[in-house]
Amino acid sequence: MTLEKKIGYIFKDKTLITQIITLAHGRKAASYERLEFLGDRVLGLTIAELLYKQHPKESEGDLAKRFTALVREETLAILAHNLSLHENLKTNEPELRYNQSILADVLEALMGALYLDGGIKAAQNFIIPLYTDLINQKIQPPVDSKTMLQEWSLKHKLGLPVYNTIDRTGPDHAPHFKIEVKLPGYKGVTGEGSSKRHAEQAAAEQFLKKVSFDE
């Protein structure tokens, strides 16, 4: 199935489709990256407005937690996979089609392309139905491990956690990070992941498990 059929939109400027689905070698000159930059802003505005309207009694802090969970790489990658966007990507490296970071970026590029081709309405007509179920099912504001660790450390008057990159391996299109998180009076704890964000979350999660066990 073509990309246009999948999303229910016919592009006036067909060159935008090529930009979205073309993965350059090593992503060093990926044609979708400028569209991704734009799409990130379009997505952010759309989701922020949705949350503002659907949760009129929630504080800015709770809205921010919901927002972060909805626009994070992991969520975007799942939505991209559900749309089977990987089937339309053009690349000489097949493994790139299943790279979480790339799938997330391509989905944001698609949002940017829709905005350029049809305006904010075209982009929102795609984004809002895509996110409706996710927004409705999140009854309580989600809290990720980094936020939980920050709240715990401030509660114990330890200041903010410090994250340091210990190691980075793998090619540009499939990196692997090892991150250490430190707090005064505690030994550093490490976490690993396919991006700094993932590794930091993993480190924070391990740190929380450690202090929970110690206490």
Listed in sequence order, the residues at least 6 apart from 199 whose beta carbon sits closer than 8 Å to its beta carbon are: 177, 178, 179, 191, 192, 193
The answer to whether 40 is a known catalytic residue is: yes
The answer to whether 87 is a known catalytic residue is: no
DSSP helix/strand/coil, 178: strand
User: Residue 60: in which H helix or E strand, if any?
Assistant: helix 60-71
DSSP helix/strand/coil, 70: helix
Q: Which of 40, 105, 180, 205 is catalytic?
A: 40
Q: Which of 108, 144, 200, 205 is catalytic?
A: 108
| Alpha-carbon gap, residue 94 to 96, rounded angstroms | 5
- The residues annotated with a catalytic role in the active site are 40, 108
